[in-house]
Amino acid sequence: MIIDWEHHASPEEVYAKRGRPGELQVKDGMIGMILVAEAYQIDKHLEFMDAAGIDMSVLSATLDAVEECRTTDDWYAKVMKEHPNRFVCFAPCIPTRGKPALEELDRAINVLGLKGVVISPQNDGEPLDSRKLWPFYEKVSRMKIPLYVHISNTPVGYDALNARYNLNTSMTREFDIAANTVRLIFGGVLTEFPELKIVMSHFGGGIAAILERVERSVPVLGIEPPFDKPYRANFRKYFDRIYFDMAGYYGGMNTVRCALTAIRPARLLFGTDYPYNFNNKPDEVRRYIDNIRNLGLSENDTEGMLGRNAAGLLGI
């Protein structure tokens, strides 16, 4: 079974607030993505999945308001009911919005039957190790659902990457999720919440390429790390708990090979970032799947990356 972990969809009434299809999204002076009608056309999702050889997709979206989350949750429940063998949906949540956000998450999971939760690595400017997110982590831990962290569309705090050309889409987002992956460990999130099942998008921003440097920097953090000596061994213990999806790099195999130098195949989840990657060309997704199969890994590792790892997280 091929499961696409990163597959984006929103109801039209929510998506329309960003602009019209074909427009380039700009927020707070930062360039985002080109808006596409396919984002809310479920028939187009199914058509693409069938042509690409994808059996099931995990639908997600990151939003700006609790009311948008509520509308999206209702729509997701309808999509899952109509296509129970093709879609699993994750509830969008803004964990810094307090009781209303957590109550809506509770409704989405326990009433509507959604299967996980998705947040951004920045929430109202707060990183993942902000203590303001502790009540959210406590709730998700009790719920025993996957927590998916998708890149922030317009992350703040990276002024050095402001330019007259678009570095936000190509670089800033990836740096931000890589930094927040490390924050989960150094900031004590994984120590305090051992039951969390966390998935980071986009290979964790390509974190494998710098992981050796991060590991060796543990003794000079400047503060006592929130885990016991030996620090490097324990850093790796926590890092190995995190899952990473394989979307966001357009099927680039150099990225996959780099990821495998630091991330175990059992922690990698196939993804496409549809409808924003692959230019609506399902043949390119098929090529990506074939390239993964031809990496020379064991059948167990390969099939795990393509779907079994995701199925285990989803309980299907």
Give the C-alpha separation, 310 to 261, whole Å: 21
Q: What is the pLDDT of residue 102?
A: 98
pLDDT per position as a tens digit, 235-260: 999 999 999 999 999 999 999 999 99
Token pair for residue 315? 């309980």
59 SS3 class: strand
Q: For residues 141 and 24, which has the higher predicted lDDT (pLDDT)?
A: 141
Q: What is the pLDDT of residue 20?
A: 84
Q: What are the contacts of 137-145 at 24+ separation with CB within 8 A?
A: 137/189, 137/192, 137/193, 137/196, 138/193, 139/102, 139/105, 139/106, 140/105, 140/193, 140/196, 141/193, 141/195, 141/196, 143/109, 143/117, 144/195, 144/197, 145/109, 145/115, 145/116, 145/117, 145/197
Assign 170 a pLDDT band (cuts: 50, 70, 90). confident
Q: What is the pLDDT of residue 32?
A: 67
Q: What is the mean pLDDT of residues 73-94?
A: 99
Assign 310 a pLDDT band (cuts: 50, 70, 90). very high
Position 289 pLDDT exceeds 70 = yes
Strand arrangement of the beta sheet that strand 197-200 belongs to: 3-8, 56-60, 87-92, 116-119, 146-149, 197-200, 243-245, 268-269
pLDDT per position as a tens digit, 120-135: 999 999 999 999 999 9
Q: What is the pLDDT of residue 29?
A: 65
Token pair for residue 200? 């980071």
Where do runs of H (alpha helix) occur along 154-210?
A: 173-186, 189-192, 202-206
Token pair for residue 5? 């972990």
Give the C-alpha separation, 65 to 53, whole Å: 34
Assign 30 a pLDDT band (cuts: 50, 70, 90). low
Q: For residues 3 and 223, which has the higher predicted lDDT (pLDDT)?
A: 3
The domains found in the chain, sorted by start residue, are 3-314 (3.20.20.140)
Position 154 pLDDT exceeds 90 = no
Position 224 pLDDT exceeds 90 = no
Helix, strand and coil content of the chain, in percent to the nearest 5, comes to 50, 15, 35
Position 200 pLDDT exceeds 90 = yes
Q: What is the pLDDT of residue 5?
A: 99
